[in-house]
Amino acid sequence: MTIYISGHSFNYEMENVARMFTGDVVVKNGRPEPDEQGDYAFLYKNDNCEACALGCVVCWKGMSAEKAQAVSPKATDKENELALAVLFYDAMCTLTGIRPPWGVITGIRPAKFAGKMLLEAQPQEVEARLVEKYRVSPNKARLCVMTAQKSAQIASLNTEKSYSLYVSIPFCPTRCSYCSFVSKSVERDRQLVEPYLDKLIEELACSGKIAEELGLKLETVYIGGGTPTVLSAPQLERLCEAVAKYFPLDSAREFSVEAGRPDTIDEDKLRVLRDAGVSRLSINPQTANPRVLDAIGRRHSAQDIEHSYALARRLGFDNINADLIAGLPLDDLSSFAHSLDWILGMRPENITVHALTLKRASNLTEEKQSGGADAAAMVDHAFERLTQQGYAPYYMYKQKGTVDSLENTGYALPGRDCLYNVYIMDELHTIIACGAGAVTKLKNQKTGLIKRIFNYKYPKEYIEGFEEILARRKGIAEFYHEV
Ligand code: SF4
């Protein structure tokens, strides 16, 4: 579809609206030719015509729709942008018969948006406003407000000196077909793991010293990846000892480790993590359907997950997260519902429901396989079922390229929310991130200013360019001294 922009500069937002309906979007300034062919939208702001100051003419598959409205001369650009987005969205819904559930909220953090509205309105009013003004579906509006309320409670724990630590282990046993993460398969890069760990521990030492000198307060630790449990038990022990040596774990509220795939979990490794004080584990089934597991390249069964889960419980882990993905190839609503009930049978404290995202680097995109059908129905089902079962949504985000523009949502039993997820998603405080692919996000809590420090993406680059990685660490102290 070609979008013609005239009399305004809302190009980005209009493109985002169009992308909810079609992946093929070209944006041009100007107006269509009188004999324009194909799918197009003419989105205009006309300052010389009071009766039709904002409007759109949309042609789609041989049909057309026109919408226009007058706006007050006092209306701000933001108000005009929203009004035009709604006109365009409504026209596209009429022509395509599709109704994207997030309406014209195209940003990645809808709950943060709702959180701001909750500062000045009651939850019911915010829900109604999301539905009426932003065309959000009633279900999503409820999800959004519930999440924003939970996030606000967690945000209240935050102090001016708070920070969290993220540690990246960018290796996996093999690569899952839907994954676009920079993770390396250890089958191919095993020789990099030890030198990587050496450098990572140096970076932890340097970062811990800087945080201590700045008087920062550690809130949470998150070791993610990749699959951190791809490390051997002695390697995990070395890593955890380094974290404990260079960071004040006693003051931390939470220590999470992604144990991801059951083919990387054994009793020795879980004992190491437990003895190191890890308080939350992620063991991620993604689905219980063996055909789907096979289609996405995961070499484990639902029974392997049950075994890992039981092992973790026996060793005393009392906070476990299970990830589930909606929209996987070969999956359907009834198989997804079965997977969810199977997970509920294990009663994990956290269940995170992701909508499949097809990013450019993933094998699924490369192989041009489509994601499964019914993803929207699956995430709606998860919301209903999990809230009935005593779980509440506590963090949520959208990613570009998600099937049906859907959201990823973390649900938790009361009091078991993963604080780190909220801190990073709502950008509440500094995240000091170490390792390949890690991005340190420094936050000035008074002004809201955020600065990022990027590490090299891949383990080999990280090892070879480590002097530069250490040099960039100086940016942490500089940021706080400039404040
Ligand atoms: S385990 Fe996770 S990070 Fe690793 S390849 Fe699979 S989806 Fe990607």
Q: What is the pLDDT of residues 124-136, one digit of tens each?
A: 999 999 999 999 9
Q: How far is CA 312 from the centre of its chain?
A: 26
Count Cα atoms within 13 angstroms, Cβ side, for 182.
Answer: 16
pLDDT band (50, 70, 90) for residue 374: confident
Q: What is the pLDDT of residue 367?
A: 45
Q: With a 6 A CB cut-off, is 393 part of the ligand 1 pocket?
A: no
Q: With a 6 A CB cut-off, is 172 part of the ligand 1 pocket?
A: yes
Q: With a 6 A CB cut-off, is 260 part of the ligand 1 pocket?
A: yes
Instruction: Answer whether 110's CB lies under 8 Å from 398's CB.
Output: yes
Distance CA(333)–CA(375), nearest Å, equals 8
Q: Say yes or no to pLDDT of 155 above 80.
A: yes
pLDDT band (50, 70, 90) for residue 365: very low
Q: With a 6 A CB cut-off, is 300 part of the ligand 1 pocket?
A: no
pLDDT band (50, 70, 90) for residue 225: confident
Q: With a 6 A CB cut-off, is 175 part of the ligand 1 pocket?
A: yes
The single residue listed with the structure tokens 């194909």 is 38
Which of the residue ranges 104-113, 213-222, 355-364 would you say has the lowest mean pLDDT? 355-364
19 CB-near residues (< 8 Å, 6+ apart): 25
Mean pLDDT of 34-55: 87
Q: With a 6 A CB cut-off, is 65 part of the ligand 1 pocket?
A: no
Question: Which ligand 1 atom sits closest to the C-alpha of 261?
Answer: 1
Mean pLDDT of 351-368: 66
Distance CA(236)–CA(97), nearest Å, equals 52
Q: In the chain, pLDDT over 90 holds for what percent of residues?
A: 77
339 CB-near residues (< 8 Å, 6+ apart): 285, 287, 288, 289, 324, 331
Q: Say yes or no to pLDDT of 179 above 50.
A: yes
Q: What is the pLDDT of residue 52?
A: 67
Determine the distance separating the centroid of ligand 1 and the alpha carbon of 174, expressed in angstroms: 8
Whether pTM > 0.85 for this model: the answer is: yes
Q: What is the pLDDT of residue 174?
A: 82
Radius of gyration of the chain (CA): 24
Pocket test for ligand 1, best of 171, 178, 179 (most atoms within 8 A of CB): 179
Nearest CA to ligand 1 atom 2: 226
Q: Say yes or no to pLDDT of 379 above 60.
A: yes
Tokens (6 digits) for 468: 């530069």
Q: Say yes or no to pLDDT of 66 above 70.
A: yes
Mean pLDDT of the chain: 92
Nearest CA to ligand 1 atom 6: 176
Q: What is the pLDDT of residue 175?
A: 79
Task: Give the DSSP per-residue string, 301-348.
Answer: -HHHHHHHHHHHHHTT---EEEEEEES-TT--HHHHHHHHHHHHHH--
CATH numbers and ranges of domains, the chain: 2-96 (no CATH), 110-154 (no CATH), 155-477 (3.80.30.20)
Q: What is the pLDDT of residue 193?
A: 95
Q: What is the pLDDT of residue 360?
A: 46
Pocket test for ligand 1, best of 168, 176, 284 (most atoms within 8 A of CB): 176
Q: What is the pLDDT of residue 444?
A: 92
Q: What is the pLDDT of residue 403?
A: 65
Q: What is the pLDDT of residue 362?
A: 53
Q: With a 6 A CB cut-off, is 226 part of the ligand 1 pocket?
A: yes
Determine the distance separating the centroid of ligand 1 and the alpha carbon of 354, expressed in angstroms: 13
Neighbours of 123 (CB within 10 A): 16
Question: Which ligand 1 atom sits closest to the C-alpha of 226?
Answer: 3
Instruction: Answer whether 102's CB lies under 8 Å from 85's CB.
Output: no
Q: What is the pLDDT of residue 402?
A: 72
Determine the distance separating the centroid of ligand 1 and the alpha carbon of 332, expressed in angstroms: 22
Nearest CA to ligand 1 atom 3: 226
Q: With a 6 A CB cut-off, is 227 part of the ligand 1 pocket?
A: yes
Q: Say yes or no to pLDDT of 29 above 50.
A: yes
Q: What is the pLDDT of residue 483?
A: 66
Distance (Å) of CA 367 to CA 133, 296, 358: 40, 12, 11
Distance CA(222)–CA(280), nearest Å, equals 9
Q: With a 6 A CB cut-off, is 193 part of the ligand 1 pocket?
A: no
Burial 359-374 (b: 16+ CB within 10 A, else e): eeebebbeeebebbeb
Mean pLDDT of 412-434: 95
Which of the residue ranges 312-321, 374-383, 403-412 would you say has the lowest mean pLDDT? 403-412
Q: With a 6 A CB cut-off, is 235 part of the ligand 1 pocket?
A: no
Burial 224-263 (b: 16+ CB within 10 A, else e): bbbbbbbbebebbbbbbebbeebbebeebebbbbbbbbbb
Give the pairing type, strands 392-398 and 407-412. antiparallel
Q: With a 6 A CB cut-off, is 425 part of the ligand 1 pocket?
A: no
Which of the residue ranges 88-92, 230-234, 355-359, 450-454 would you say has the lowest mean pLDDT? 355-359
pLDDT band (50, 70, 90) for residue 482: confident
Q: What is the pLDDT of residue 371?
A: 45
pLDDT band (50, 70, 90) for residue 108: confident
pLDDT band (50, 70, 90) for residue 213: very high
Mean pLDDT of 143-161: 94
Determine the distance separating the centroid of ligand 1 and the alpha carbon of 178, expressed in angstroms: 8
Instruction: Answer whether 367's CB lies under 8 Å from 187's CB.
Output: no
Bridge partners of 351, per DSSP, are: 322, 411
Better-scored residue on pLDDT, 109 or 314 = 314
Q: With a 6 A CB cut-off, is 183 part of the ligand 1 pocket?
A: yes
Q: With a 6 A CB cut-off, is 176 part of the ligand 1 pocket?
A: yes
Determine the distance separating the centroid of ligand 1 and the alpha carbon of 294, expressed in angstroms: 14
Q: Say yes or no to pLDDT of 324 above 90.
A: yes
